[in-house]
Amino acid sequence: MRRVATLAKVVVLTAWLLITLFPLYWIVITSLKPKPEIFAVPLKYWPGTVTFEHYAELFSFADFGTYLLNSLMVSLVAAGSVTAIGVLGGYTLARFAFPGRGALMLAFLVTQMIPLFIALGPLYLLMSDLDLLNRLAGLMLVYVAMLVPFSTIIMRGFYERVPVALEEAAQVDGASRLVAMVRVVIPVMLPGIAATFIFAFVQCWNELFLAITFIDSEDAKTIPVAMNSFITQYDIDWGSMAAATVVSVVPTLVMFAAIRRYIVEGLTAGAVKG
């Protein structure tokens, strides 16, 4: 009886796993099929010939190298800043009681709920006033603002799991608060910090609407903006689009796999407490 139940469980889970993975498989083999095979009926579930022509096209015909570099720059700088700001802000929110703390937490939480698209137009005007349209710096600023509430709240959660006694001991030994924080608390929290950084990185890497609103010059496009313009320009060239999808998803996939455990921990700790 117990065996049957376990078997049923494995069968159902495996079916779900296949459903989850199949779209990824399908896009990967589409990117590797020569054009005639992509549009061959009946469909080929296994590529007859493997070709890298779509990838080559992406980097020669479309300037995908530039877009990749742009996305990388924006995501690294924004995620780094977001994490640093979260590390500082989360610390004070976790360790001190001060007037306005509740209001600040609320102001940060509310940003996760209001429809931020209402800000899209005004942000465009603001970027234009600051002369930041078509500049990567403009995107970085907005991404940092977008992710700071999340990173601060998450970091606060991580700090609350580190015993205060740890840093008090360091302070008794004569270290200042800042030194105690940097030397004692932060090393303990490194996995949480890394998770926050990667999560922010993936968000910036994937962001579309702000980017298409602010960027339309070729040399400032990020990957989603470029892919979005592939759609309108040539209808859809599915081979190149599949290759672009694979190129843009592989880095985030690898990073997410690395931090999955911490993200789940962070999110679920917050939810279960609430």
Partner 1 sequence: MRTFNVRRARFIALCLLPGVVFVALFTYYPVLRGAVMAFQQYNLFDLTSTPFVGLENFRAVLGEDRFWTALRNTGTWVVVSLFFQFFLGFGLALLLRRHFRGRGLYQAWVFFPWAMSGFLIGLLWRWMFNGQFGVINDLLLKTGIIDQRIGFLASPGWAMTSVIVANVWYGVTFFAIMIMAALQSVPKELYEAASVDGASRLRQFWHVTLPHIRPTLALIVLLRIIWILNFPDLIYSMTGGGPAGSTDIITTFLIQQVIGGDYGRAGAVGLLILGLLLSFSVFYLNATRFEKSR
Cβ-based nearer residue to partner 1, 114 or 172: 114
Q: How far is the CB of 73 from partner 1 (least distance, A)?
A: 18
Binding flags for partner 1, 10-29, as an x/- string (CB under 8 A): x-xx--xx-xxx-xx-xx--
Cβ-based nearer residue to partner 1, 149 or 192: 149
211 Cβ contact list (under 8 Å, min separation 6): 139, 221, 222, 224, 225
Of the candidate spans 62-70, 86-94, 165-173, 214-222, the one that interacts with partner 1 by CB under 8 A turns out to be 86-94
Rounded-to-integer distance, Cα 116 and Cα 164, Å = 36
Count of residues near partner 1 by CB under 8 A = 88
Positions in 134-163 near partner 1 (CB under 8 A): 141-142, 144-146, 148-149, 152
Q: How far is the CB of 228 from partner 1 (least distance, A)?
A: 7
Binding flags for partner 1, 97-126, as an x/- string (CB under 8 A): xx-----x--xx--x-xxxxxxxxxxxxxx
Q: How far is the CB of 262 from partner 1 (least distance, A)?
A: 12
Per DSSP, the residues of 233-274 read HTB--HHHHHHHHHHHHHHHHHHHHHHHHHHHHHHHHHHHH-
Backbone angles phi, psi at 235, to 5 degrees: 55, -125
Provide the CB-side half-sphere exposure for 156 (13 A, CA). Answer: 20
Q: List the one residue from 64, 196, 214, 224 that touches partner 1 (CB under 8 A).
A: 224
